[in-house]
């Protein structure tokens, strides 16, 4: 029995490191890390992927780590940080869609119509919810779940267990968060500008003929005009979502190549 435990303990410890990294990535990743996905399902998926990642961790050059030691605790935190940062990087594309929905709703007057969002656990507007559903469909249509599995597998080559990771990864991901607002504003500019023109037009008309009380009609016209512009812009959202995902992949690939050369 002791011999069996001596043989299983290295295998279980080798399974624990990829499990921590995969679970952290799935928790921070878009769609799979949402509150709508049950936690037991996410844990089982992380366990299945960790078993598949065993050949990447059980390599001849792997650093042996004692299971019950401070080094094991540090390695666990290290895997959680790497997986969380990788999942957070992929969450940027979804964040752009969420910011876009908020900007569009605030311009169209839909920001007052809030509903409970079971995915994020808070209240969101109708436009953001519809755009989020569209981005989820695009995520699975481009095999985003397979891309996540490929990235987590490649990360074990760039940052093996026990070898640490470069702080530049955290710095790059933090700095790349700035383009979330730029990309969302770039998509929302047509609707923001068009609704602003309509509001200015109604303001001038109300100034010329105040007896018409055009502001009571302006809300409906702005909403209809905003919906018309949204119908013209929404067809470009999948293309931009794919482009933003490719940008995240390029960023991660450069970091992995730099870590491999280092």
| Predicted confidence (pLDDT) at residue 1 exceeds the cutoff of 50 | no
Q: Judge contact between 29 and 49, C-beta under 8 A.
A: no
Q: Which of 79-93, 134-148, 154-168 has the lowest mean pLDDT?
A: 154-168
What pLDDT is attached to residue 59? Answer: 59
Virtual CA dihedral for 186, 190, 192, 197, nearest 10 degrees? 150
Helix 179-208 vs helix 70-108: crossing angle, to nearest 10: 20
pLDDT band at 66 (very low <50, low <70, confident <90, very high): low
Would you say residue 46 has pLDDT above 70? yes
Q: What is the tens place of the pLDDT at every residue in 168-209?
A: 666 677 676 777 777 788 888 888 888 888 777 777 777 776
Alpha helices in 53-69 (DSSP H): 54-57
**pTM of the full structure:** 0.78
The span from the CA of 21 to the CA of 77, in Å, is 9
Tokens of 112: 């007052």
**Confidence band for 159, pLDDT divided at 50, 70 and 90:** confident
HSE-up of residue 149 (Cα within 13 Å, Cβ side) = 13
């Amino acid at each position: 029995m002791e011999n069996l435990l001596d043989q299983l303990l290295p295998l279980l410890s080798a399974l624990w490191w990829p499990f921590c990294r995969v679970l952290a990535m799935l928790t921070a990743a878009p769609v799979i890390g949402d509150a709508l996905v049950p936690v037991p399902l996410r844990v089982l998926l992380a366990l299945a992927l960790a078993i598949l990642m065993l050949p990447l961790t059980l390599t001849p050059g792997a650093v042996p780590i004692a299971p019950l030691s401070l080094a094991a605790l540090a390695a666990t935190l290290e895997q959680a940080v790497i997986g969380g940062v990788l999942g957070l990087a992929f969450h940027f594309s979804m964040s752009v869609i969420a910011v876009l929905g908020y900007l569009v709703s605030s311009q169209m007057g839909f920001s007052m119509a809030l509903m409970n969002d079971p995915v994020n656990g808070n209240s969101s507007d109708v436009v953001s919810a519809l755009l989020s559903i569209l981005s989820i469909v695009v995520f699975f249509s481009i095999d985003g779940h397979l891309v996540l599995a490929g990235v987590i597998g490649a990360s074990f080559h760039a940052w093996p267990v026990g070898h640490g990771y470069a702080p530049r990864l955290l710095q790059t991901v933090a700095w790349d968060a700035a383009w979330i607002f730029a990309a969302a504003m770039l998509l929302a500019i047509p609707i923001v500008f068009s609704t602003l023109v309509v509001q200015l037009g109604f303001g001038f008309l109300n100034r010329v003929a105040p007896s018409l009380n055009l502001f009571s009609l302006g809300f409906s016209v702005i909403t209809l005009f905003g919906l018309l512009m949204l119908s013209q812009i929404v067809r470009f959202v999948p293309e931009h979502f794919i482009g933003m995902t490719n940008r995240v992949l390029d960023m991660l690939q450069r970091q992995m190549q730099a870590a491999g050369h280092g």
